[in-house]
Homo-oligomer: A and B are copies of this chain.
Amino acid sequence: MYLPSLAQLALGSRLKSLSDHFYAAVDEVYRTCGAGVESRWFPVLRFLWENGETTVSDVAQAIGQTHSAVSQLADKLVDAGLVCRKKDAQDGRRSLLALTEKGRTDLSALGPIWVAVRRGIVKSLGEEGLEALLNALAATEAAVQERSVVDAMLAEHAIVTKAALEVVPYEPALKDHFYRLNAQWLQRHFRIEDVDREMLGDPERYVLAPGGAIFFARLAGEVIGTCALLQEAPRVYELSKMGVDETFRGMGAGRVLLAAAIAEFHRRGGKELFLESNSRLKTALRMYEQAGFVLQPSVRAGSHYERADVYMIYQPEQRQRAQAAAVRS
């Protein structure tokens, strides 16, 4: 399942999907139990049952839909013989909805089914699971009700766009981010190998001490990406451990981190810069290419990683030549 990995970003889709599942589930129960109703009728029917004669708008207001929706649904319920429409004597604009005798008896007969629905949900989600869901829903409904979500998003957008993307060198306070940001893509696409765990857990010892460097990208206070430059041998460096938080991709963090690492490589007078990666990481590979890395025909001899099936070397002149050739053709 892919959607859950998008977390907050696809809430609408996930909620919709769940909603459809529940409607379908209840409809199936109604059908197999021979009840002549549909799950989407429930809020209206139940409201009428509890409140007696009510206007269309009142129902709409109560169940959080438009009056049109209620009006159209009422048509169906009238067709099904469950509800009747009356004109309000006091106010000629109003149309009063009420259960018919048949509606009332049919709903009474639905009792056991509703009980089964309720208990079935409890059973399959668990007492606490259901409790948690209902609480979360109630809280979310409250937040959404007063537009606070939209406002918060727009406010954050102002903050984020105003904030500059900055690259900062390693400092001990950022140590955990080094692990977190790399674990994210490793777990998603591969698995964390022992050699990763060592280095990610103690970057000062395995990266900085041997003459390497680490950079972090920070945006509006959030650490959203990292990248390491490892010293493999005198004047030979490896670009590695590049990770950008999934939810912050596409903001150029990778590019600026890469640029910072390359600048550092030059600053230290390096003469060879390479990287190992995996062919699955398409976006990353494209970015490496654009930065001046050139794909080598074979894997680097004696790689540290199982997952390495791509070997690139930083050769900006050669890349420019290749690009020029592509344009000419």
Measured CB to CB, the residues of A under 8 A from B are 1-4, 6-23, 25-26, 28-29, 32-33, 39-40, 42-43, 46-47, 49-50, 52, 62-65, 105, 107-125, 129-130, 132-141, 143-145, 148-157, 159-161, 188, 219-220, 222, 246-252, 282-283
Contact = CB atoms under 8 A, between A and B. Distances in A.
A120 B156 contact: yes
28 contacts: A1-B62, A1-B64, A2-B43, A2-B47, A8-B117, A8-B118, A8-B122, A8-B134, A9-B117, A12-B26, A13-B40, A14-B141, A15-B137, A16-B19, A21-B144, A32-B154, A50-B283, A115-B222, A116-B156, A117-B156, A123-B156, A124-B148, A124-B149, A124-B151, A125-B140, A132-B132, A133-B139, A136-B136
A14 B252 CA distance: 38
Contacts of A52: 282
A139 B65 CA distance: 27
A15 B22 contact: yes
A40 to B, nearest CB: 7
Contact of A120 (B15, B47, B152, B188): B152
Contacts of A21: 144, 149
B247 A153 contact: no
Given A19-B12, A114-B9, A136 B144 contact: no
Given A4-B137, A156-B120, A111 B42 contact: no
Given A25-B149, A118-B8, A157-B112, A43 B139 contact: no
Nearest to A51: B282
Contacts of A112: 157, 160-161, 248, 251
B108 A250 contact: yes
Contacts of A161: 112, 116
A12 to B, nearest CB: 4
Contacts of A17: 64-65, 141
A111 B6 CA distance: 14
A129 B122 contact: no
A13 B63 contact: yes
A252 B64 CA distance: 30
Contact of A248 (B32, B111, B153): B111
A158 to B, nearest CB: 8
The 9 closest A-B pairs by CB, nearest first: A120-B153, A108-B250, A111-B251, A116-B157, A15-B19, A2-B62, A12-B22, A120-B152, A111-B250
A49 B246 contact: yes
A12 B23 contact: yes
A136 to B, nearest CB: 4
A64 B3 contact: yes
A108 B282 CA distance: 14
B140 A133 contact: yes
B12 A15 contact: no
B25 A153 contact: yes
